[in-house]
Amino acid sequence: MAVFSEHVSVEPMHSSDLDAVHRLDRLCFPTPWLDRAFQTELSNRAADYFVARNNSDVVGYGGYWLIMEVAHFTTVAVHPCHQGRNIGLRLMLAMFDEAILKGAKRAALEVREGNVSAQSLYHKFGFYQASLRKNYYTDNGENALIMWAEAIQSTLFRQRLLNVRQSLYS
Ligand SMILES: CC(C)(COP(=O)(O)OP(=O)(O)OC[C@H]1O[C@@H](n2cnc3c(N)ncnc32)[C@H](O)[C@@H]1OP(=O)(O)O)[C@@H](O)C(=O)NCCC(=O)NCCS
């Protein structure tokens, strides 16, 4: 069972976080975003980005775009030294809370076929595999799974979020 850490907070990302976020991005992904990408995202009115802080250190981040009532989760990552502490879960909760507040009705994302840990995280939020894009990733030709979560404004989905939230304290 993963232990909930009382030292970790999840907050909106600010420009003062960008250096740390870029460092983390390079650490967590084989094809990190370009240097100005997160800066651009912070000025994108359709986007919401969050960071997880362990005390003052940025140890995780995630974000989504809201387009036509669909929340497109663009990225989520946790520093390797802090993985398995429910930080990914808490970032996903923050993103869903905000997306639902802003009227999102569905959510979508893409994930590497071999990334079973991320897929397991997404399953907890009701994401299912809707389709597959062959040879999608440029670094190794890996396939992408396209995953959707439906009816995220529904009572059933809110109950799912509540269950996930409660699991942090069990
Ligand atoms: C995917 C990632 C964000 C998960 O973050 P995390 O903080 O370690 O995850 P959590 O501790 O919140 O775990 C939540 C759930 O995710 C899944 N999960 C996380 N790590 C896992 C692992 N190593 N193996 C299998 N499932 C895992 C589990 O379902 C877990 O729930 P459980 O503890 O009840 O089994 C993290 O592994 C990461 O940053 N990976 C590199 C970047 C990446 O691949 N991002 C996703 C891009 S699509």
Q: Is residue 2 part of a domain?
A: no
Q: Compute the distance between CA of residue 26 and CA of residue 142 in angstroms, rounded to an integer.
A: 19
Q: How many domains does the chain have?
A: 1
Q: In the predicted model, what is the mean pLDDT of residues 22-31?
A: 96
Q: In the predicted model, what is the mean pLDDT of residues 27-34?
A: 94
Q: Is residue 3 part of a domain?
A: no
- The residue whose CB lies within 8 Å of the most ligand 1 atoms, and thus the one to mutate among 25, 83, 164, is 83
Whether residue 82 contacts residue 99, with contact meaning beta carbons closer than 8 Å, is answered with: no
Q: Is residue 42 part of a domain?
A: yes
The pLDDT score that the predictor gives to residue 6 is 56
Q: Is residue 140 part of a domain?
A: yes
**CA dihedral of 58, 25, 164, 42, whole degrees rounded to 10:** 80
Q: Compute the distance between CA of residue 25 and CA of residue 29 in angstroms, rounded to an integer.
A: 6
The closest-lying atom of ligand 1 relative to the alpha carbon of residue 1 is 33
User: Residue 71 belongs to what domain range?
Assistant: 8-167
How far, in Å, is the centroid of ligand 1 from the Cα of 12?
21
The pLDDT score that the predictor gives to residue 170 is 83
Q: Is 103 left (phi over 0), alpha (psi -120 to 50) or beta?
A: left
Other beta carbons less than 10 A from residue 59's beta carbon: 23
Which residues carry out catalysis?
110, 122
The closest-lying atom of ligand 1 relative to the alpha carbon of residue 92 is 12
Q: In the predicted model, what is the mean pLDDT of residues 83-90?
A: 97
The closest-lying atom of ligand 1 relative to the alpha carbon of residue 84 is 11
CATH (domain of 48): 3.40.630.30
The neighbouring-strand residues paired with 67 are 70
Q: Is residue 143 part of a domain?
A: yes
List, as one string, the DSSP characters of 84-106. TSSHHHHHHHHHHHHHHHTT--E
Taken in order 22, 82, 74, 96, is the CA torsion positive or negative?
Answer: negative
Does residue 81 or residue 7 have the better pLDDT? 81
Q: In the predicted model, what is the mean pLDDT of residues 111-133?
A: 98
pLDDT-based confidence at residue 35 (cuts at 50, 70, 90): confident
pLDDT digits 0-9 by tens, 39-73: 999 999 999 999 999 988 999 999 999 999 999 99
Q: Is residue 97 part of a domain?
A: yes
> Which residues, at least 6 apart from 8, have a Cβ–Cβ distance to it below 8 Å?
52, 53, 54, 59, 82, 85, 87, 90
The pLDDT score that the predictor gives to residue 3 is 45
Q: Is residue 1 part of a domain?
A: no
Ligand 1: which residue has its CA nearest to atom 3? Answer: 77
Pocket of ligand 1 (CB under 6 A): 2, 28, 76-78, 83-89, 111, 115-118, 120-121, 124
